Amino acid sequence: MNKNRPVEQRITETLEKNYMPYAMSVIVSRAIPEIDGLKPAHRKLLYTMYKMGLLSGNRTKSANVVGQTMKLNPHGDASIYETLVRLTRGNASLLHPYVDSKGNFGKVYSRDMKYAAARYTEVKLDSICEELFADLDKNAVDFVDNYDGTLKEPVILPATFPSILVNSNQGIAVGMASNICSFNLQEVCEATIHYLENSDTDFVKYLKAPDFSTGAQLIYNEKDMREIYRTGKGSFKLRAKYSYDKKNSCIEIYEIPYTTTSEAIIDSISDLVKEGKIKDIVDVRDETDLNGLKITLDIKRSADPDALMNRLFKLTPLQDSFNCNFNILINNTPKVMGIKEILDEWIKFRINCIKRQIMFDINKKSEKLHLLLGLKKILLDIDKAIKIIRETEQDSEVIPNLMKGFDIDRVQAEFIAEIKLRNLNREYILNRVEEVETLSKDIEDLRSTHNDERKIKKIIIRQLKNVAKKYGQPRRTEIVPEEDIEVITVEKMIEDYNLKLFLTEQNYFKKIPLVSLRANPEQKLKDDDKIIQELETHNKADLLLFSNKCTVYKIKIYDIPDSKASALGEYLTNMLELEPDEKIIYMVATDDYSGYILFAYENGKFSKIELKSYETKTNRRKLANAYSDLSKLVSIMYLDSDTDLVTFSSINKVLVFNTANINPKTTRNSQGVQVMKGKKGSTVTRVAKLEESGITNFDYYRTKNIPAVGCYLRPEDVEDNQTLLEFDKK
């Protein structure tokens, strides 16, 4: 048998043996907070500072705290200091910081603002930590050995308020995570008090919504909030606060969502400006200083600041979501809980702490009472006690002789033996004995409280009221009802501006902002190409593109990228996926689909189709049968109202008529009505508006009724530069 051959092991066994202990260690001992609102790293750090006397003393160097904490926390100094930083007032991560700090500790709202080294900064415990360590010395919680068995540390801290809900906490374990938002201290205490008094408390009434150290606005949806409170899971939206400085034409953002940073916001806005998606912002800069966060946006004076911010809320982290996952360790078991369950567990935890503290007091008072009862017995004969002590020959016999002489136990005898000679007088002993009655009553009251949870709950309520009064502060995060928030649609996100569209004979299309066109009006085209239509419109209009295949293509103009005069533009064959021999011959831009499209055919028929016929409820991009194909198309023309038109035939007949004589149709491929009668095989060759026709005497060719044959073109109405639209060549 080959001894060097590796032993085969099932993968499931390997995972169970090696990976599962690691996973459980991360869950239980590192990443998930317990009911006191602290992870082990936080607890070890705060307890170390407590033992260092930093609850009431002066600040000490952070490096000193980090070094001392390593006696409880075997991790490196860097991770310990990083934990310390997050707990400080200077970093502003917590609504109620546990560490009073001096020096640069960075900011929670900044990604790049780094904290100073531990040797430069100073810390001490903040006064609110008195509530975390209350009655710790009265056996309120269990203590365990540290990692090397040289020190004791608390398993949990006996916090007198639901700190798990007051300060935010995030952690990523193996296979699970925890993300607990912070709530206002006063609201948490009030909600807990009402719940202790009435188990049917509606938490939404008292615990209005989460509250964050970075302020900002919370978009409130009661249904979603109730779901979070019930299950411990869900999300809500936070958005930045801003003000508009009209004089300097700039927007100042002074509070941002807790979940993002100023650098992430600035980077996102800069990218939008570079990509041309936002055109109203001239400059963006970080003006954060000692007074706090400030991001300044210089904008154009013509811009609407509120509309611009609404677009930025949609496109940048200026509006962000907080995903709740109230996963908490309960008896070393991770559990996702709603607010009611969390408070149930916290109340159970506090009742246990108070019972232990009461029992500690009972034991201490009972011990003292026991000693005083022994002292009371010598009151009957002080001289006898002195005589026993004086006549006892050996020191070791003093205690046994006192025990026999007064029928007391060893503890009482030792207490009496230790009394100074000067105190062995009737006055001293009477004063001490008077405490017996008081102690007896105190012990009786303590036992009564210990055995009555209603009394213990009253103690909890009293403590909560005291905490709320002493440390409560106004909300920082403003609650904004969801119905007051403007719904930001895609349309509202799009920037609107005036532009000009160009369509070329070879299917090239350009969308050029008028600002850019004024700077460079010279159009670049292919050598054998020419512009067949120009159209002024704006970025939010709809565009209809008619092809020579009786098809219309619908597209949002803002979906087409801007072009420059020096570029060829978009090739419509590729953009619209046209057939090889298909060409776009006409375009119409519209906001409301009002007006008509007039189609003129070679056979003299005209169809006036309502533009509404091309408006569809669904965003269909391609509509077939856009017009009739029974006769060759000669002209397409958009009409916003009826007007006079001039029609030319192949035998030089000319007819002037008004489009009001043509009844509009809703059927897109209608054949239309006869306008110009044909003669000797003649066909319609051109249709033009009066000012574009080259005709001087319109009345000569005008007809009141259609159909009509028209009149021959007179020599004086012929212009050398007159051009004909020949669709049969396209």
What tens digit of pLDDT does each residue of 269-300 get? 999 998 878 888 999 999 999 889 999 999 99
Q: Name the nearest CA neighbour of 170 among 179, 162, 183, 161.
A: 179
Q: 13 pLDDT exceeds 80?
A: no
Q: What is the pLDDT of residue 174?
A: 79
* 533 and 567 belong to one structural domain: yes
Residue 102 vs residues 44, 49, 107, 308: alpha-carbon distances, Å: 21, 15, 13, 39
* 461 and 499 belong to one structural domain: no
Q: What is the number of alpha carbons within 13 Å of residue 293 lying toward its C-beta?
A: 29
Longest dimension (CA), the chain: 160
| 52 contacts: CB under 8 Å, gap ≥ 6 | 60, 64, 65, 68
Of 214-228, 456-470, 642-656, the one with minimum mean pLDDT is 642-656
Q: 2 pLDDT exceeds 60?
A: no
* 402 and 525 belong to one structural domain: no
Q: What is the pLDDT of residue 1?
A: 47
What mean pLDDT do residues 361-368 have? 93
Q: What is the pLDDT of residue 719?
A: 55
| 421 contacts: CB under 8 Å, gap ≥ 6 | none
Rounded distance, CA 107 to CA 113, Å? Answer: 7
* 505 and 623 belong to one structural domain: yes
What mean pLDDT do residues 668-688 have? 87
Q: What is the pLDDT of residue 244?
A: 95
Q: Name the nearest CA neighbour of 251 among 291, 292, 310.
A: 310
Q: 690 pLDDT exceeds 80?
A: yes
* 556 and 656 belong to one structural domain: yes
* 296 and 355 belong to one structural domain: no
What mean pLDDT do residues 146-156 have? 93
Rounded distance, CA 389 to CA 404, Å? Answer: 12
Q: What is the pLDDT of residue 67?
A: 95
* 524 and 615 belong to one structural domain: yes
End-of-domain residue from the set 317, 335, 356: 317
* 450 and 505 belong to one structural domain: no
Q: Name the nearest CA neighbour of 477 among 293, 234, 265, 213.
A: 213
Look up residue 114 and give its two tokens: 């780094």
End-of-domain residue from the set 114, 139, 158: 158
Residue 249 vs residues 28, 280, 297, 450: alpha-carbon distances, Å: 53, 11, 9, 66
Ranked by mean pLDDT, the top range of 47-51, 611-615, 664-668, 697-701 is: 47-51
What mean pLDDT do residues 461-476 have? 96
What mean pLDDT do residues 51-66 have? 94
End-of-domain residue from the set 136, 158, 180: 158
Phi first, then psi: give them for residue 115, nearest 5 degrees.
-80, 155
Rounded distance, CA 86 to CA 632, Å? Answer: 77
| 19 contacts: CB under 8 Å, gap ≥ 6 | none
Domain at 676, CATH number: 2.120.10.90
Q: What is the number of alpha carbons within 13 Å of residue 451 lying toward its C-beta?
A: 7
Q: 29 pLDDT exceeds 70?
A: no
* 348 and 305 belong to one structural domain: no
Confidence of residue 466 (pLDDT cuts 50, 70, 90): very high
* 523 and 647 belong to one structural domain: yes
* 402 and 543 belong to one structural domain: no
Confidence of residue 506 (pLDDT cuts 50, 70, 90): very high
The residue segments making up the domain with residue 642 are: 495-729
Q: What is the pLDDT of residue 728?
A: 37
What mean pLDDT do residues 690-702 have? 86
State how far Cα 468 lies from the chain centre: 28
DSSP 8-state symbol, 15:
I
What mean pLDDT do residues 43-47 have? 96
Q: Please state the domain count of the chain.
A: 4
Q: What is the pLDDT of residue 726?
A: 36
What mean pLDDT, rounded, does the chain reach? 89
Domain assignment present for residue 232? The answer is no
For the four alpha carbons of 664, 665, 668 and 672, in that order, the dihedral sign comes to negative
Q: 92 pLDDT exceeds 90?
A: yes
If one counts every other C-beta atom within 10 angstroms of the C-beta of residue 150, the result is: 9
Q: What is the pLDDT of residue 57?
A: 84
Domain assignment present for residue 348? The answer is yes
Domain at 296, CATH number: 3.30.1360.40
Q: What sections of 379-513 are H helices per DSSP?
A: 382-391, 398-406, 410-417, 426-450, 453-471, 490-493
Confidence of residue 723 (pLDDT cuts 50, 70, 90): very low
Domain at 93, CATH number: 3.90.199.10
Look up residue 55 and give its two tokens: 């609850």
Q: From the candidates 22, 120, 700, 712, give the one annotated as an active-site residue.
A: 120
Domain at 362, CATH number: 1.10.268.10
Residue 142 vs residues 138, 363, 366: alpha-carbon distances, Å: 10, 17, 22
Q: 320 pLDDT exceeds 60?
A: yes
Rounded distance, CA 636 to CA 596, Å? Answer: 10
Phi first, then psi: give them for residue 635, nearest 5 degrees.
-150, 145
Domain assignment present for residue 301? The answer is yes
Q: 180 pLDDT exceeds 70?
A: yes
Domain assignment present for residue 428? The answer is yes
Length of the chain: 730
What is the DSSP code string of 159-203? -SS-HHHHS-EEEE-SS-EEEE--B-HHHHHHHHHHHHH-TT--H
What mean pLDDT do residues 148-166 have? 95
Domain assignment present for residue 169? The answer is no
Confidence of residue 729 (pLDDT cuts 50, 70, 90): very low
Look up residue 466 and give its two tokens: 């005291």
**Residue 120 falls in the annotated catalytic set:** yes
Q: 74 pLDDT exceeds 50?
A: yes
Q: 429 pLDDT exceeds 80?
A: no
Domain assignment present for residue 350? The answer is yes
305: amino acid identity, one letter: P
Pairing of strands 295-299, 281-286: antiparallel
Q: What is the pLDDT of residue 392?
A: 85
Q: What is the pLDDT of residue 4?
A: 64
What mean pLDDT do residues 466-492 have? 88
Q: 631 pLDDT exceeds 70?
A: yes
DSSP 8-state symbol, 88:
B
| 386 contacts: CB under 8 Å, gap ≥ 6 | 424
Using only C-alpha atoms, the chain has a radius of gyration, in whole angstroms, of 44
* 306 and 360 belong to one structural domain: no
Look up residue 293 and give its two tokens: 């966060």
Q: What is the pLDDT of residue 3?
A: 58
